[in-house]
Structure 1
């Protein structure tokens, strides 16, 4: 996998160990992965936070969710990851990114702030960013709400993982560059990484915005590249929504956009600790 990633022009990965358990994974297994990635010259930019329900009013369930995220941060540190990506979870039992009216209540926001505060020390101890990803279907459904939550948590280790598609609406689908600029203007101080995902509106009588492989929709990736680069040249931009078969095309697209924008992408032969 590492060699396929390098061949496609990428310097690192974001990986999800969905069937793994951060509460029981052995440190020696994490060290083995860390050594393998180092040997292959591939950085581990993010791992998953296991998408726990951090907004529930059930304190027993919320407490367990916090413990899993805390363990995910520790495990990410053992693996040498820069950060973890986690959503807030959802009250919808069908999945952590699906809609539910209780996701959008003041109580859910309060619980999310509490949960993130309880995870902040684990992030600091591990030296790993806890990067909150948001979406219009979950509690931080707008960038304004996300900014309010992260301001309340007030930790340099609890940050925003900005996903290019997740806050695009019908009103902004044909001006994604304007939407990106507005989001970065509001949240730039919190952003520490980004997911590059495309989006388009489909020809249906019910509104349907479909996200997917970069290059297939209307996302203004040059603006995304430029705004993230302006925050910090070391912040990673992570391709999302593509299949393994599409990886090379996405790599070529991203290298072209960066080249045209005068942005340096980490060469696959460079050391990951110098990653940009």
Structure 2
């Protein structure tokens, strides 16, 4: 197990070098790289991504996850889903060049215009289509549980992953996102080896505060 910090929680006005220095000085072994930031984008060349990896390693901080792309796999709009899948594939390829074994994917949301059953079927179909691509690239897709009114129980999350039935599609389990309506230890037991990576944060059930 490697303990890392996500760029998502580091100051937006700091550079990658500054983030790496902060991570190293705080004792973290790795970093989750965000493709929402200027230094990283999905169309970077392999050599550019390898240079990013080398920079991380110079600081003694290992790139261990990647996140930050739009992937509305639940959308009823086929074009939106296709664009989401394209973004996921690009993220997988970037992760491969960075030496990362799994990427974080938020698969969309349930809304008034996106009913739960349709969201589930759209997401399931999209993940099944992405699974062989992830396997070919050698980087796993890890679906995160977030406050998107979707995949609200560990049984449902496990069912979807069972239906996809690929070692390259698993869960990115966020402990803090569960505590307002469930018990993280139950999710961990039920999902078991399907968990690829874990997010910890200081969200508290009492008062629903950070």
Give TM-score, length-normalised by structure 2.
0.82
Q: Does 1:190 align with 2:157?
A: no
Which consecutive unaligned segments of at least 5 residues does structure 1 have? 92-99, 173-178, 204-208, 213-276
User: Which whole-Å CA distance do the structure 2 matches of 1:102 and 1:197 have between them?
Assistant: 31
Which consecutive unaligned segments of at least 5 residues does structure 2 have? 1-18
Match of 2:11 in 1: none
Shift of 1:188: 0.9
Match of 1:143 in 2: 154
Q: Does 1:115 align with 2:134?
A: no
Q: Could you list the per-position Cα deviations for residues 94-153 of structure 1 after superposition, in whole angstroms to 9, with x for gaps in the alignment?
A: xxxxxx245551111011111111221232222212111013433212212111111111
User: Which whole-Å CA distance do the structure 2 matches of 1:65 and 1:118 have between them?
Assistant: 12
Find the structure with the greater CA-based Rg.
1
Q: How does 1:255-270 map to 2 (within 5 A)?
A: none
Match of 2:26 in 1: 8
Shift of 1:189: 2.4
Q: Could you list the per-position Cα deviations for residues 205-251 of structure 1 after superposition, in whole angstroms to 9, with x for gaps in the alignment?
A: xxxx23x3xxxxxxxxxxxxxxxxxxxxxxxxxxxxxxxxxxxxxxx
Shift of 1:26: 1.6
User: Which whole-Å CA distance do the structure 2 matches of 1:49 and 1:61 have between them?
Assistant: 17
Of residues 106, 114, 119 in structure 2, which corresponds to 1:87? 106
Matched length: 190
Q: Does 1:32 align with 2:32?
A: no
User: Which whole-Å CA distance do the structure 1 matches of 2:154 and 2:114 have between them?
Assistant: 15
The Cα RMSD (Å) is 2.0
> Which 4+ runs in 1 deviate beyond 6 A?
none
